[in-house]
Amino acid sequence: MARVLTILWAEPERLWRSREIAVLLGDVTLVATFRQLARWTERGKIERVRTGRYAAIAQIPNPLRDQRKR
């Protein structure tokens, strides 16, 4: 998952195709990539913007993490 998120965040405005992601991963088949992207989409880890196009979900700021002692 970390490798896929790295790809998606490399160009956050881009809508990635599963085939492009599989090619960049190199050691994963297109079918395996497609299945895993579907699972992560269902779990809310990534976003399917439209059929066959994926993007990273915008990170929601964590207010507890941002409160640091100064």
Summarised one tens digit per residue, pLDDT across range 13-57 is: 889 999 999 999 998 898 999 899 999 999 988 999 888 899 988
The class that CATH gives domain 2-61 is: mainly alpha
Q: Where are the alpha helices (DSSP H) in 1-70?
A: 2-10, 18-25, 30-42, 63-66
Q: Are 21 and 54 in contact (CB under 8 A)?
A: yes
Q: Looking at residue 42, what is its pLDDT?
A: 93
Q: Are 47 and 54 in contact (CB under 8 A)?
A: yes
